[in-house]
Structure 1
């Protein structure tokens, strides 16, 4: 296994990590902006108002996208990592 192959596998693994985390990060960003705007408009500065809805939305999105994440990670290991281990 040469270093170009290792760098290519690492690049692919990082891209998989970005694709897996994107739904959660996008929901956290949108929820944070919406809640921040709500707090700015109403002058409510409660810390739990920012934390609880954001965590609840992220858990809901994680629950919905779990199959996508699992399929993506399993296909990466099946298609890329396991053939390198076997020596294909």
Structure 2
């Protein structure tokens, strides 16, 4: 029983990690692709041209999705603390 609990806990941790990383990584990926196409079309190879827009988009995504991400992390932490007796015993 304990092995099943540990495996399900690990699976839940990976799911929460993917859910929290997705809202930040997907917009950065899209903006990076758009800026990369712009740089290829104009032959401008400036490193800050790709970094600054990605940083701004990740900041905006963090402001927009931040409360949801925090609530998800808090609920997972509460669930984890409630299941500690099952893990020990």
TM-score normalised per structure 1: 0.89
**Structure 1 position 22, deviation (Å):** 0.1
Give a deviation string over 1:1-46, Cα, whole Å, max 9, x none.
7121011011101100000000111011101100001111111111
Unaligned runs of 5+ in 2: none
Unaligned runs of 5+ in 1: none
User: Does the alignment pair 1:43 with 2:38?
Assistant: no
Q: What is the aligned residue count?
A: 86
RMSD: 1.3
1:86 and 1:4 map into 2 onto residues whose CA distance is 15
**Structure 1 position 86, deviation (Å):** 4.4
Aligned partner of residue 83 in structure 2, secondary structure: helix
Moved over 2 A (4+): none
Aligned to 1:57: 57
Aligned to 2:16: 16
TM-score normalised per structure 2: 0.88
